[in-house]
Structure 1
Amino acid sequence: MANQHKHQENITYDSLLEGNKAWVEETLKLDKGYFDKLAAGQNPPVLWIGCSDSRVPANQITNTLPGDIFVHRNIANVVTHSDMSLLSVLDYSVNVLKVKHIIVCGHYGCGGVAAALSNKEFGLIDNWLRHIKDIYRIHEREMSTIKDPQRRADRMVELNAIEGAANVMSTSIVQNAWATGQSLSVHAWAYSLKTGLITDLKVSASSADDVSPVFKLKFD
């Protein structure tokens, strides 16, 4: 941990630019046509909706390359039906990129989830965290049975990802794709900072049959 802090202390504006040059040089040594191929276009099969936490980079933890995953990140990987930024990313991913999988990935130890579980006032972000508090309210009976604070936070991370995936499934964007026969699946995951491993929360859908009846849309 001390080495990590030392490394971060050495990061400056100029070091970032120098790091970019070094990365380009090393990459071209391995593959001279790497950037030509990247510049030709993208065809990622996956949309990743994750937390903005700097410790949860989608490509690294899934051992994939640039061009493999289209990414949207926000505080605590919240998915709401009124977030135009997320909906724009979702629409582009589904209707233009034709991704095959949409993954909502939370992570244990999420500061946003921990803040939502507290009664502290943080400022502007309280309005964003309210979405997580609403999820707590929906699952309050289950949450009230969990006495251990760490386990409560971990379970809230899971429920937040599960509800996020459900909200993705409920969008007209995804339901329209399913109605037209597009191959598309939605999943909920949770990542552990302590182990580096991803837990599949076993919440997946590949058709409107998995959507709650009240959210199902009819397409003529």
Structure 2
Amino acid sequence: MEENFIEHKELFEHLGNKQTPHTLFIGCSDSRVVPNLITNTLPGELFVVRNIANIVPHYRLVDEYLATTAAIEYAIYTLGIKNIIVCGHSNCGGCEALYQSDEKLAKTPIVRRWLMIIDDIKKEVLKDKDISPAKRAWVTERLNIINSLQNIMTFPGVIERLKSGELKLFGWHYIIETGEVYNYDDRIKSFKLLEKSIDYDKIYSQIFTDF
């Protein structure tokens, strides 16, 4: 613990006064998903929001407690972040729970309610009557990432910031078994592998806005 502090002493002293993260990372609460390891970033670079299945709800003003929405709102309008990454992952238990029976989810009614946000994805996936469990998981995880990207654009002013270049938006599918990361390319409506054959620093310098 002390060795880590000494190694980053100047960084921690700089961060002691304020935070200036350049990227909002929206990921799953899964213990195998570690944002700073995936992005090769230091403390202070990422503002992190994590929930079951990395879901982003539509922006709305209601009389309830909206933890994910509040955190995203704070990152965009208070911290002025320059990049947003929605990072889903393989073997996502939250996405898999979408297909479990009410009986199996009886002990987790709040989880069941939360997953209702992406119930339309379930309906779309199940249109394929012959889909295998493995393909069902893969397709659900990716459609969920795309859905969260679309919902981020319901936040006030986000579309305008994207058009002006003030903000960049990325959808990642992280493959736990291999460490591969696929980035969603909206132009071709497909996920493309971020090549690992080059240095990670080069990968992220290509993606992140200078900070």
- After TM superposition, the score normalised by the length of structure 1 is 0.73
The offset of 1:33, in angstroms, is 2.4
SS in 1 for 2:131: coil
Aligned mate of 1:133, from 119, 122, 144: 119
Identity %: 37
Aligned mate of 2:19, from 36, 39, 42: 42
Q: d(CA) in 1 for partners of 2:125 and 2:157?
A: 26
Structure 1 runs of 4+ aligned residues shifted over 3 Å read 138-141, 175-179
In the other structure, the counterpart of 2:168 is: 185
SS in 1 for 2:139: helix
Which amino acid is the alignment partner of residue 175 of structure 2? S
The answer on whether the counterparts of 1:117 and 1:153 sit within 8 Å (CA) in structure 2 is no
**Alignment CA distance shift 1:146-1:164 (3 Å):** farther
Q: Identify which of structures 1 and 2 has the higher relative contact order when contacts are C-alpha pairs closer than 8 Å and 6+ apart.
A: 2
In the other structure, the counterpart of 1:174 is: 158
For the pair 1:107 / 2:89, whether they are aligned, the reply is: yes
SS in 2 for 1:195: coil
Q: Deviations over 1:43-84 (max 9, x none)?
A: 111101110111101111111111111011110011112572
In the other structure, the counterpart of 1:197 is: 180
SS in 1 for 2:186: strand
**Alignment CA distance shift 1:61-1:98 (3 Å):** same
**Alignment CA distance shift 1:64-1:136 (3 Å):** same
Q: d(CA) in 1 for partners of 2:56 and 2:175?
A: 20
- After TM superposition, the score normalised by the length of structure 2 is 0.76
The offset of 1:120, in angstroms, is 4.4
Aligned mate of 1:164, from 148, 151, 157: 148
Q: d(CA) in 2 for partners of 1:117 and 1:95?
A: 36
The offset of 1:182, in angstroms, is 6.3
**Alignment CA distance shift 1:55-1:197 (3 Å):** same
The answer on whether the counterparts of 1:191 and 1:199 sit within 8 Å (CA) in structure 2 is yes
**Alignment CA distance shift 1:195-1:176 (3 Å):** same
What is the total number of aligned residue pairs between the two structures? 178
For the pair 1:119 / 2:101, whether they are aligned, the reply is: yes
Q: d(CA) in 2 for partners of 1:45 and 1:145?
A: 43
In the other structure, the counterpart of 1:147 is: 131
Which amino acid is the alignment partner of residue 77 of structure 1? N
In the other structure, the counterpart of 1:67 is: 44
SS in 2 for 1:150: helix
Greater displacement, 195-204 / 43-52: 195-204
The answer on whether the counterparts of 2:125 and 2:140 sit within 8 Å (CA) in structure 1 is no
Two-structure CA RMSD over aligned residues (Å): 2.2
Q: Deviations over 1:82-120 (max 9, x none)?
A: 572222212211112111111111111000111102334
